[in-house]
Amino acid sequence: MISFAQINTVSYLDGKDKLEGFFFKAEKPNSKNIGIIVLPAWMGIDNHAKESAEALSKLGYHAFVADIYGSVNNPKNTEEAGKLAGYFKNNPEVYQKRIQLAIDQLVKLGTNKNEIAVIGYCFGGTGAIEAARGNLNVKGIVSFHGGLGKDKMRTTVPITAKVLVLHGADDPYVPQKDIDAFVKFCKYVPCKVNIIEYNPIDDGEFQQASNEALENYINTLERNRIVVNVRRSRGKDIDAACGQLANKN
């Protein structure tokens, strides 16, 4: 059983809906009272979300795992998760509201309201992008493997937060049309794209993108006059490239 020594359960409401998030207080000096919202993946709050928040607290940040579905709506299987996640994806204003409520709790717990970031993986990564689109009062957004799609009928507004999208070049869960739409969006905001090669590690579940997929990604961006930088690491042949050394004892 995993034990989270610094965890604090926080109950709050969205109207009559009961929500239950988890707060991890910074374990190192945090003079700016910086806080980070962690958005769970589609199966709801799990140990991975809590572990991520705990790791952030050990780095010196206040961290709060947001409850998006509600305390009584924990999906029992992927079918239930798909229905719940689909509802929030199709109703972004509701998703944004749940994120804002989590931010409100983080502020009540001592975080500076002007020093907040939002991160999320998969469904949570989609939510992180929605926090940017909703112009919530956050300084930074990090989306890992999040959905990039947006309904064409939605109004596009300027984004004020800094946004980092970490997305696989040949991610099978994000169709080309969503990538094209995201590229189109990038044309109208000040941005640059850094493509960072993933360097495989022993027993890792992820694989490096093929050269063909990488070139396709680069060409798509450059055709749209978006500044692209490709970061390649040396030492891959001896497992000494970026990200590989951390896996060695």
CA 67 to CA 195: how far, in whole Å? 32
| Antiparallel, parallel or unpaired: β 62-65 and 17-24 | antiparallel
Inside any domain, residue 147: yes
- As to burial, measured by CB atoms within 10 angstroms (0-12 exposed, 13-18 middle, 19+ buried), residue 16 is exposed
| pLDDT string in tens for the chain (249-residue length) | 455 557 899 999 999 999 999 999 999 988 999 999 999 999 999 999 999 999 999 999 999 999 999 998 989 999 999 999 999 999 999 999 999 999 999 999 999 999 999 999 999 999 999 999 999 999 999 998 887 777 777 777 778 888 888 776 556 666 777 777 777 777 766 677 777 777 676 665 667 777 887 888 788 888 888 888 887 766 555 555 555 445 555
State the total domains in the chain. 1
CA 127 to CA 134: how far, in whole Å? 10
Instruction: Tell me which residue range forms the domain holding 142.
Output: 7-167
Inside any domain, residue 179: no
Inside any domain, residue 74: yes
Inside any domain, residue 153: yes
CA 191 to CA 226: how far, in whole Å? 8
Crossing angle of the two packed helices 78-90 and 92-108, in degrees rounded to 10: 90
CA 67 to CA 18: how far, in whole Å? 9
